[in-house]
Amino acid sequence: TLQKYRLDLSEQHQKTLGLLRKQQTLILDEELIQWKRRQQLAGNGGPHEGGLDVLQSWCEKLADLIWQNRQQIRRCEHLTQQLPLPGPMEELLNKLNADITDIISALVTSTFIIEKQPPQVLKTQTKFAATVRLLVGGKLNVHMNPPQVKAVIVSEQQAKALLKNESTHSESSGDILNNNCVMEYHQGTGTLSAHFRNMSLKRIKRSDRRGAESVTEEKFTILFESQFSVGGNELVFHVKTLSLPVVVIVHGSQDNNATATVLWDNAFAEPGRVPFIVPDKVLWTQLCEALDMKYRAEMHSGRGLTDDNLVFLAQKAFTSSSNNPEDYRNMTISWAQFNRENLPGRSFTFWQWFDGVVELMKKHLKPHWNDGAILGFVNKQQAQDMLLSKTNGTFLLRFSDSEIGGITIAWAAENPNKLGERLVWNLLPYTTKDFSIRSLADRISDLNHLLFLYPDKPKDEVFAKYYTPPLSKAVDGYVKPQIKQVVPEFTTPTPEPCGGASAFMDQTAASSASQSNNYGVYASITENMLDPDGDFDLDDTMDVARHVEELLRRPMEAHAQWSSQQS
């Protein structure tokens, strides 16, 4: 009978909706969530999250199937109205229609995503960009009436309220310029997206902070919202999506602490969390993965942090002397240990020290790290033990324990003041400013007492390809001056013992761990050779060179005059 056919058809529709829900869950709750997680880890230097084209094709096929089913259900409703029969058909069809509409709503709202995230460390008064995309934009006739997207910045508390569907539509925590953009449909790629190219955060309104929390621990998010008409205005959906958390700064000096907040959040956020809750403590091994990911990305290298490097970092983080990696495997590290409390006896945190190393390396020393020339993560005592087992003139490069973004050269040599005693010497740490004046390779070339890079590689074999070519010959009668690094104790026949006012380095005797704190790197430099920023002023340097040339010429002129008088 007709009634039975209608009931059978409605039963088939129910089964179909069940299959559609299952497929949609697979795409939205698994594949899309995994893509978003990869995108989050990419913010820490992880592999690129991958393209969205495959995901979009799945979503569009699903959208087609869902819409076809909705049209069939609407057709059944129309036929039932034309020929009403007693029974539950009207109620069944109403439920089917509501269910299919819910499925469409979930698909449209979930596939409105941020393809290109805004910067997670966001400086006020600075331009930034972001891209949002609708993965079903080529279907359901959404692109026929291109929607407009608006971006606003909201606080963590406002984000929580939004996810609870509380009325916070008009609330924001700041003013973003150029925050409206119309979505564009690209026929060739079939993508519907909005590219915000020139946004700028004009003002930020901060909330009251809790306890020891600093401004660089406060998280915001960019809310993108729009309204989509589906199926020729049959259905209208209000959609919104939140960016990854952003930390707002007003000065570059806040960048490293803000980056710590972002790294911790990206690494340890759990799917489906309440914004933007992260664990206060994590396993040390978990943090190691995050640090290694960050380091590899900044070095653009497959050479990441070795087990020995991670043991060194664990010793620093936990103030430990154990060299056994297993001792740290089950240990936890808190956010406070990571970037709130200073390391013992230092004026900086664990993260600030690590970030200083990363900044130094990526700006000046990346090739040397990738060549394997920099051991880096070695403490002073370890360097001494390693070098004293090698021939004199063997050296290594290690990061400074006492200075952020510092690297020093340690080498083994005879004590010039005590026959038969071998010492390990440590130069004053170099920083970014030093390498802006003269490169590491040239500095190593300058020091003739450095012969072998640990364990036994001739230094020229490792560094020669990075040496600066010799200066051209004199032009217009002038000799070009050259900045060169010297260590007087290793260039004079009778060096003064370290510890005096002229000491240029720290020395460690083989029989003692005591160290001098008198450091230096360069021979005397007159004040007028430095500009206000501490960099060399070429004109003044040339003047000094001419003055030296004049002084050298005077004795020769006097001698010539005396000789003529004698004759």
Pair (230, 206) in one structural domain? yes
Q: What is the pLDDT of residue 93?
A: 86
Pair (133, 248) in one structural domain? yes
Pair (180, 320) in one structural domain? no
CATH of the domain at 313: 1.10.238.10
Q: What is the pLDDT of residue 87?
A: 66
Pair (410, 514) in one structural domain? yes
Cα separation, 399 vs 368, in Å, equals: 13
Question: At a CB cut-off of 8 Å and minimum separation 6, what does 453 contact?
Answer: 373, 394, 395, 396, 459, 462, 463
Cα separation, 148 vs 270, in Å, equals: 31
Task: For tokens 């324990």, name the residue.
Answer: 401
Pair (365, 319) in one structural domain? yes
Pair (299, 391) in one structural domain? yes
What is the band of 244 on the pLDDT scale with cuts at 50, 70, 90?
Answer: very high
Pair (515, 422) in one structural domain? yes
Pair (295, 156) in one structural domain? no
Q: What is the pLDDT of residue 510?
A: 36
Mean per-residue pLDDT of the chain: 84
Per-residue pLDDT tens for 21-46? 999 999 999 999 999 999 999 999 99
Looking at the structure of the chain, the number of domains it has is: 4
Task: For tokens 């096929």, name the residue.
Answer: 61
**279 assigned to some structural domain:** no
**436 assigned to some structural domain:** yes
What is the average per-residue pLDDT within 351-372?
A: 95
Per-residue pLDDT tens for 291-314? 999 999 999 888 899 999 999 999
CATH of the domain at 14: 1.20.1050.20
Domain boundary among 42, 77, 110: 110
What is the DSSP secondary-structure string of 272-286? TPSTT---SEEEHHH
Q: Starting at the earlier edge strand, list the strands of the sheet with 180-182.
A: 180-182, 148-155, 220-230, 235-242
**263 assigned to some structural domain:** no
Per-residue pLDDT tens for 116-132? 999 999 999 999 999 99
What is the band of 279 on the pLDDT scale with cuts at 50, 70, 90?
Answer: very high
Pair (325, 400) in one structural domain? yes
**72 assigned to some structural domain:** yes
Task: Give whole-number Cα distances, 384 to 22, 227, 282, 283, 395, in Å.
Answer: 63, 67, 34, 32, 10
Percent of the chain with pLDDT over 90: 63
Domain boundary among 55, 77, 110: 110
Domain housing 533: 525-567
**280 assigned to some structural domain:** no
**254 assigned to some structural domain:** yes
Closest to 193 measured CA to CA, from 180, 209, 182, 204: 182
What is the DSSP secondary-structure string of 106-161? HHHHHTEEEEEPPPSEEETT-EEEEEEEETTTTSTTGGGSPPEEEEEEEEHHHHHH
Pair (99, 226) in one structural domain? no
Pair (20, 75) in one structural domain? yes
Domain boundary among 57, 91, 110: 110
**395 assigned to some structural domain:** yes
Per-residue pLDDT tens for 392-421? 999 999 999 999 999 999 999 988 788 888
**274 assigned to some structural domain:** no
Pair (508, 541) in one structural domain? no
Closest to 364 measured CA to CA, from 258, 278, 437, 421: 437
CATH of the domain at 152: 2.60.40.630
